[in-house]
């Protein structure tokens, strides 16, 4: 009788716990979006579809949809093609500095788009480092590289931004694939190329498809890269939403575009989560390190060295240009841009020293980690059984924040959360809430594969030996997923540090984050303000790098896709 009573209590507690993330999404995701759609499609209380009709009739929006789609497809193909060689060396080789290099390679993905745009401008802009050097070497009157406001710089930035996503997903899956089948194919006479295409690629198909879909989604919803580097000539759906909402204040059209975008990306997220569920497998007792070899031969050195050189060229060069530019003024090397960060020359009431901006970003990020890990962990428990109908529908549903315009979400908070019972417009907790929505999908994608890979026989054995469900979780599940939880925590932290789209609308003037502080400097004319933006971008990059490398050193293994 006592056991039955305890079982019922545990069951009800579980149901209440599962309601927490659902209520969170209803209140802070669906309710704000619903408020926008109601204001847009029923401004007078009745249904008004004029905005949808305008989109159908106007060829401009069809061109925007076509450009959004094909640039995302090309960006995805280039990213996957360049990431495959890198994934191979991280899956099959063990070399010095491997963990640190892999951690640093993730920095571009977690940096805000304003920092990425600054990095590419500092490297490839008309007065960028590369153009200045070429003009000096060959005595050229004009910059020879003209990539600003072209599709090429957009594609380069998308590769830069998403390379680490593909690298981590594919290498994490690849390193657990035993090379026996590939070796057997070679013994039967297959060349290395034939063995790769006929054996390895089919085995890697789930990881390649999952990485491709995720990268496509990120490129499909690209905002800052296209807006800043592409100029007025190019516009994705995300950029068009921003222009309609901010520049023209045409909320009906902006909301309709948001609905179209969410429809597209929900389908893609469903495909991604279905593909990712096929990647789960029972955990092996044999460490993946036993499948890796050290760099010994000249061929090994060429393979590893060549791939690392390519990664350095793609990922480190723009960031290095950003750092150098932050120390370079009209008269050469200078620390003036960093010193000016602490000087309020205009006497502005809204001036916030960068140390306070760093503190604000760190405090918000730590709060976001707590919210995202707790809620994400509960969601993972709900999605553990990949074959259940609940998991098939809830998994892509909880991934929707990745596919939602941050601009739309920010406007939704302004409209929906400025009156009782959710009068949070001026609350400090609103920014961590927005960041938590963005971070939860990364926690889920990091922890869910680890939970699904746990061999159920281990739980059954513990239960047979008398362990209660909480004890089973404490002694079996948690030791196997704690490193994946750590991966999710670091992604929540770094994503929060770099989040900009929603924060710029809801952050209070006296408590800006680092990306908002960078945006303020970019919004003011003059070389000094631009230099301060570069300096603040460098500080933000440093904060993300220190946090990410520190956690990577504690992380043992490669749980999760990222």
Tokens representing residue 462 in the block: 């513990």
Answer yes or no: are the C-beta atoms of 205 and 143 closer than 8 Å. Answer: no
Residue 9: pLDDT band by 50, 70, 90 thresholds? very low
Q: For residue 183, which of 164, 199, 159 has the smallest C-alpha distance?
A: 199
- Please count the CA atoms within 13 angstroms of the CA of 507 that sit on its side-chain side: 25
Alpha-carbon distances of 524 from 6, 232, 397, 528, 561, rounded to whole Å: 63, 20, 40, 9, 40
The domain at 62-250+288-327 falls in which architecture?
Orthogonal Bundle (1.10)
- Checking if the pLDDT of 559 tops 70, the result is no
Residue 51: pLDDT band by 50, 70, 90 thresholds? low
Residue 195: pLDDT band by 50, 70, 90 thresholds? confident
Residue 188: pLDDT band by 50, 70, 90 thresholds? low
Q: Where are the domains of the chain?
A: 62-250+288-327, 336-562
Averaged pLDDT for residues 369-394: 81
pLDDT at residue number 421:
74
Answer yes or no: are the C-beta atoms of 145 and 131 closer than 8 Å. Answer: yes
**Residue of higher predicted confidence among 252 and 379:** 379
What is the pTM for the complete model shown? 0.78
pLDDT at residue number 289:
56
Answer yes or no: are the C-beta atoms of 365 and 493 closer than 8 Å. Answer: yes
pLDDT at residue number 28:
92
pLDDT at residue number 108:
83
Mean pLDDT across the chain, nearest whole number? Answer: 79
Question: The domain 336-562 is classified under which CATH number: 2.40.50.1070, 1.20.1290.10, 1.10.630.10, 1.10.3720.10?
Answer: 1.10.3720.10
Q: Left if phi > 0, otherwise alpha if psi is -120 to 50, otherwise beta: which for 347?
A: left
Tokens representing residue 392 in the block: 């098939």
- Checking if the pLDDT of 258 tops 90, the result is no
Share of the chain above pLDDT 90, in %: 12
**Residue of higher predicted confidence among 167 and 405:** 167
Neighbours of 335 (CB within 10 A): 11
Answer yes or no: are the C-beta atoms of 166 and 80 closer than 8 Å. Answer: yes
**What angle separates helix 430-452 from helix 251-277, to the nearest 10 degrees?**
20
Averaged pLDDT for residues 159-187: 81
- Checking if the pLDDT of 113 tops 60, the result is yes
Tokens representing residue 193 in the block: 């190329």
Answer yes or no: are the C-beta atoms of 322 and 337 closer than 8 Å. Answer: no
Residue 347: pLDDT band by 50, 70, 90 thresholds? low
Q: For residue 11, which of 471, 469, 473, 481 has the smallest C-alpha distance?
A: 469
Cα–Cα distance measured from residue 81 to residue 302, given in angstroms and rounded to the nearest whole number: 19
In angstroms, how far apart are the furthest CA atoms of the chain? 91
pLDDT at residue number 59:
81
Answer yes or no: are the C-beta atoms of 123 and 328 closer than 8 Å. Answer: no
- Checking if the pLDDT of 115 tops 60, the result is yes
Answer yes or no: are the C-beta atoms of 140 and 201 closer than 8 Å. Answer: no
Answer yes or no: are the C-beta atoms of 294 and 491 closer than 8 Å. Answer: no
Residue 368: pLDDT band by 50, 70, 90 thresholds? very high
C-alpha torsion sign, points 50, 56, 57, 62: positive
pLDDT at residue number 73:
95
Out of 52-56, 105-109, 320-324, give the one with best mean pLDDT.
320-324
Q: What is the pLDDT of residues 210-248, one digit of tens each?
A: 889 889 988 888 877 888 788 778 888 888 887 887 777
pLDDT at residue number 223:
79
Q: What is the pLDDT of residues 55-88, one digit of tens each?
A: 777 788 888 889 999 999 999 999 999 999 999 8
Averaged pLDDT for residues 91-115: 79
Cα–Cα distance measured from residue 544 to residue 499, given in angstroms and rounded to the nearest whole number: 12
Q: For residue 215, which of 267, 257, 159, 145 has the smallest C-alpha distance?
A: 159
Q: Do domains 62-250+288-327 and 336-562 have the same CATH topology?
A: yes
Residue 397 burial by Cβ neighbours in a 10 Å radius (0-12, 13-18, 19+): middle
- Please count the CA atoms within 13 angstroms of the CA of 388 that sit on its side-chain side: 10
Residue 159: pLDDT band by 50, 70, 90 thresholds? very high
pLDDT at residue number 369:
93
Using DSSP, state whether 523 is helix, strand or coil: coil
Q: What is the pLDDT of residues 392-428, one digit of tens each?
A: 778 778 887 876 777 777 778 877 887 777 788 778 8
Answer yes or no: are the C-beta atoms of 443 and 486 closer than 8 Å. Answer: no
Residue 206: pLDDT band by 50, 70, 90 thresholds? confident
pLDDT at residue number 336:
86
pLDDT at residue number 257:
82
Answer yes or no: are the C-beta atoms of 118 and 229 closer than 8 Å. Answer: no
pLDDT at residue number 370:
94
Q: What is the pLDDT of residues 495-537, one digit of tens each?
A: 888 887 778 778 877 788 888 888 777 777 777 888 888 888 8
- Checking if the pLDDT of 474 tops 90, the result is no
Asked which of 254-263, 269-278, 284-293, 417-426 is least confident by mean pLDDT, the reply is: 284-293
């Amino acid at each position: 009788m006592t056991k039955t009573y305890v079982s019922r209590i545990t069951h009800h507690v579980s149901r209440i716990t599962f309601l927490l993330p659902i209520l969170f999404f209803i209140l802070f995701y669906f309710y704000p979006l619903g408020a926008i759609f109601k204001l847009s499609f029923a401004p007078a209380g009745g249904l008004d579809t004029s905005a949808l009709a305008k989109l159908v009739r106007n060829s401009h929006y069809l061109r925007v949809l076509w450009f959004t789609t094909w640039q995302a497809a090309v960006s995805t193909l280039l990213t996957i093609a360049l990431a495959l060689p890198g994934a191979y060396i991280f899956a099959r080789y063990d070399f010095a500095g491997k963990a640190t290099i892999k951690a640093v390679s993730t920095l571009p993905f977690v940096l805000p788009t304003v920092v990425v745009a600054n990095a590419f401008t500092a490297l490839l802009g008309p007065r960028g480092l590369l153009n200045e050097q070429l003009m000096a070497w060959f005595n050229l009157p004009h910059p020879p590289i003209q990539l600003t406001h072209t599709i090429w710089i957009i594609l380069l930035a998308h590769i830069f931004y998403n390379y680490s996503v593909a690298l981590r997903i594919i290498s994490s899956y690849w390193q657990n694939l035993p090379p026996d089948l590939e070796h057997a194919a070679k013994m039967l006479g297959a060349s290395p190329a034939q063995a790769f295409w006929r054996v390895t690629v089919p085995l890697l198909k789930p990881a390649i498809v999952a990485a491709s879909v995720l990268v496509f989604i990120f490129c499909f919803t690209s905002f800052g890269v296209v807006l800043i580097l592409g100029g007025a000539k190019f516009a994705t759906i995300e950029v068009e939403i921003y222009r309609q909402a901010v520049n023209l204040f045409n909320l009906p059209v902006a909301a309709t575009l948001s609905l179209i975008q969410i429809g597209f990306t929900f389908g893609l997220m469903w495909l991604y989560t279905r593909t990712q569920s096929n990647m789960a497998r029972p955990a092996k007792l044999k460490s993946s390190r036993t499948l890796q070899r050290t760099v010994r031969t000249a061929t090994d050195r060429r393979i590893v060295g060549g791939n690392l050189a390519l990664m350095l060229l793609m990922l480190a060069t723009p960031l290095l240009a950003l750092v150098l530019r932050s120390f370079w003024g009209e008269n050469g090397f200078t620390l003036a841009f960093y010193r000016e960060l602490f000087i309020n020359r205009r006497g502005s009431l809204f001036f916030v020293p960068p140390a306070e901006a760093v503190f604000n970003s760190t405090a918000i990020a730590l709060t976001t980690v707590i919210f995202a890990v707790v809620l994400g962990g509960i969601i993972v428990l709900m999605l553990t059984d990949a074959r259940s109908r609940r998991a098939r529908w809830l998994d892509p549903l909880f991934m929707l924040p990745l596919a939602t315009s941050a601009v739309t979400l920010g406007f939704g908070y302004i409209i929906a959360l400025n009156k009782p019972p959710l009068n949070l417009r001026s609350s400090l907790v609103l920014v961590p809430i927005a960041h938590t929505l963005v971070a939860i999908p990364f926690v889920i994608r990091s922890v869910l594969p680890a939970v699904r890979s746990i061999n159920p026989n281990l739980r059954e054995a513990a239960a047979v030996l008398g362990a209660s469900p909480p004890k089973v979780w404490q002694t079996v599940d948690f030791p196997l997923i704690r490193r994946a939880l750590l991966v999710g925590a670091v992604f929540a932290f770094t994503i929060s540090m770099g989040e900009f789209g929603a924060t710029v609308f809801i952050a209070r003037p006296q408590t800006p984050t680092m990306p908002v502080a960078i945006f303020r400097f970019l919004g003011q004319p003059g070389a000094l303000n631009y230099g301060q933006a570069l300096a603040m971008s460098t500080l933000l990059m440093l904060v993300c790098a220190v946090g990410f490398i520190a956690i990577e050193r504690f992380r043992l293994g490669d749980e999760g896709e990222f």
